[in-house]
Chain A
Amino acid sequence: MQKRTLLKGAVAALALAASPAFAESHGGEKTKVGFVYVGPITDGGWTQGHHHSATEMLKELGEDNVEMVYQENVAEGPDSERVMTQMALDGADIIFTTSFGFMDPTINVAAKFPDVKFEHATGYKTAPNVSVYSARFYEGRAIQGTIAGQMTKSNVVGYIGSVPIPEVIRGINSAYIHAKKVNPDVQFKIVWIYDWLDPAKEADAAKVLIEQGADVILQHTDSTAPLAIAKEAGNVIGFGQASDMYEYAPSPRVSSIIDNWAPYYTARVKAVMDGTWETTNTWDGIGPGMVGIGEITDAVPADVKAQAEEMKAAIAAGTYHPFTGPLKKQDGSDWLAEGEVADDGTLAGMNFYVEGIEGDIPQ
């Protein structure tokens, strides 16, 4: 009995001792923002893009108002829960988890910390304190496909896939549809490396694709290794992925898809500061500026460049959707009728290739 009272007393004392600190971290002026990254902030691609946007957010809102913490190289899966939990315990008000594989861990940790807001990139599971956000990268892929289809002389385009999830498959489909449109003979060779960042494997994959005749390399992996290999090979072009990768311009990097998360991060952190944060599902593209198209270099002929820029303008204005019928699935069944536009639900869960792509999606 006595013991229990003692324990109770200790708990009360702890709570008392903790509460001023608690009040300070939450009721104080600074909003604490956490970022969980899958790779190093210097990967040259995906994580660098997120970190760059995060620092832009910090600049925009001011270091007097926002405190930023981040953790690099967090493995997808259970270990990420530990990182998120630690951030939440350290008083983070909002935590951004920036890789698809952080989805379930984010939901699990969010359930334990109902007062902390979570934002998960590229996923689809939400909760009262979990929002999801992603970018319509496939809009950028349409432009890449248009350029790739016309730039290839061998009619073989190599595609380095990371992990076979809808986001990556959407990109392949979008690039293929638009390459095919400008070059009916084009063929896609797709290689999966089952990782987001593994420079040695990305380099090997690029080499293999080039050896098998590809002279345009598209990548959905995070490092600049494929561009380094393309440069070495000489007459091969590629595109920047997630970050501009401009250090490989004007060739092999002839353009790029740039992820610009800064406006979103700023708006969301601002919402937490104002107390107006709500669960949302954001999926923005070229129009709102979440997907940027890096400068198309002079290695691309002027007419091709003009065509690509025209498409970019049409997508931004909303007058053109990259998935517009008539389109068939790989097995020949009808998907979209003439003029029909794909709905977001189908796109979000896309698990099929469109007609003409060879090979199967690994299950």
Chain B
Amino acid sequence: MDLSAINPVLLLASLMVAATPILLGGIGELVVEKSGVLNLGVEGMMITGAIAGFAATIETGSPALGFLIAAVAGAALSMLFALLTQYALANQVASGLALTLFGLGLSSLMGQGYVGLKPPSTPKLDIPLLSDIPFLGPVLFQHDPMVYIGIAIVAATWATLKYSRVGLVLRAVGENHDAAHALGYKVRLVRCAAIGFGGAMAGLGGAYLSLVRVPQWTEGMTAGAGWIALALVVFASWKPWRVMVGAYLFGGITVLQLNLQAAGVKIPVEYLSMSPYIITIIVLVIMSSGRGKAALGAPASMGRIFHATG
């Protein structure tokens, strides 16, 4: 065992990279759930974003445009879910699962021509002065822009939900859609917008996988990241900053267990590598029981179908 082989600077730096996809997916889903909708289709939207972003980057040569297209693709797919659940009043759990299956299939169809290609690399920001700070520089300030955009989105989401009128309306709709409706807020419209935002974020997270973290396209490459993002929201009890902490924790476990293995530390890595999934299962179980849901501070109307009467 040789712990000195683990470079804490590189470990923390790669932790931030590993956490970004689930951070983006998680913060999007948080907004969706805050509006009272449970969308289990994160995995499907994520992988659709992964291939859409990848394809767009290959065709145009611009990673920035690729990320944009990925967000649009994720949002477009989520509109299907919005249509089903908000207008056709379909069951949200079933529709979300269907969206995941559909996204996985659709992405593999779209990806036929893109296997084995290499995307142009996403440039890393090299912030003068800041990136030269010893230790903190390489850990915090030498990443690609998406890492910072992810953090900025978390901050913006937090501020919007907490301080703005839009955030208040969104929360009102999520807590009690009947009351919000009685006050004259457009429940369906608010929810559709939230679903769209969630889709766009999931798409960005997927594109981060295919453009930065891996970088290439392989069928099924999200490999459960969408589900972890979903669990992250519950784990964070619907608070934006906690989503970020959770994402770094989950991302950190992944990177740490690989580091420990490579350093030859005798720990049961199986348990470490399965821990994000175990936490995921536990929170999903808690979430599915009515009492647990309330105890965790879940939006009261989450998952309930809204039908305006009278």
Contacts and interface: CB of A to CB of B under 8 A. Distances in A.
A358 B111 CA distance: 40
A200 B219 CA distance: 12
Nearest to A208: B258
Given A194-B273, A228-B118, A211 B219 contact: no
A40 B121 contact: no
B264 A358 contact: yes
Interface string B253-273: 011001101111010111001
Interface string A321-363: 0000000000000000000000000000000000000111010
A351 to B, nearest CB: 16
Contacts of B214: 199-200, 203, 225, 228-229
B156 interface: no
A225 B11 CA distance: 19
B223 A225 contact: no
A295 B5 CA distance: 34
A101 to B, nearest CB: 16
B258 A205 contact: yes
Interface residues of A, number: 40
Nearest to B7: A211
B6 interface: yes
Given A40-B108, A42-B115, A200 B262 contact: no
Interface stretch (A15-23, A184-192, A269-277): A184-192
B259 A208 contact: yes
Interface centre among A197, A198, A200 (most CB of B within 10 A): A200
B219 A224 contact: no
Contacts of B262: 158, 189-191, 208-209, 212
Interface string B155-198: 00000000000000000000000000000000000000000000
B121 A232 contact: yes
A362 B264 CA distance: 12
Range of interface residues on chain B? 35 or more
Contacts of A209: 262
A201 B213 CA distance: 10
A199 B111 CA distance: 15
Contacts of B75: none
B285 to A, nearest CB: 22
B223 A228 contact: no
Interface in A31-65: 39-40, 42-44
A193 B269 CA distance: 10
Interface centre among A42, A43, A190, A362 (most CB of B within 10 A): A42
A200 B264 contact: no
B258 A204 contact: yes
Contacts of B111: 42
B273 A40 contact: no
B225 A231 contact: no
B219 A204 contact: no
A185 B222 CA distance: 38
Contacts of B154: none
B14 interface: yes
A192 B108 CA distance: 27
B268 to A, nearest CB: 8
Contact of A194 (B18, B121, B270): B270
Interface of A: 39-40, 42-44, 73, 158, 189-195, 197-201, 203-205, 207-209, 211-213, 223-225, 228-229, 231-232, 247, 358-360, 362
18 contacts: A42-B111, A42-B112, A43-B218, A44-B116, A44-B218, A158-B262, A191-B262, A195-B223, A203-B214, A208-B255, A211-B14, A212-B7, A223-B218, A224-B116, A225-B214, A225-B216, A358-B264, A359-B261
Given A204-B254, A211-B11, 9 more contacts: A40-B218, A42-B111, A73-B219, A197-B218, A200-B214, A200-B222, A201-B223, A209-B262, A224-B218
Query: 4 nearest interchain CB pairs?
Result: A40-B219, A42-B115, A208-B258, A211-B10
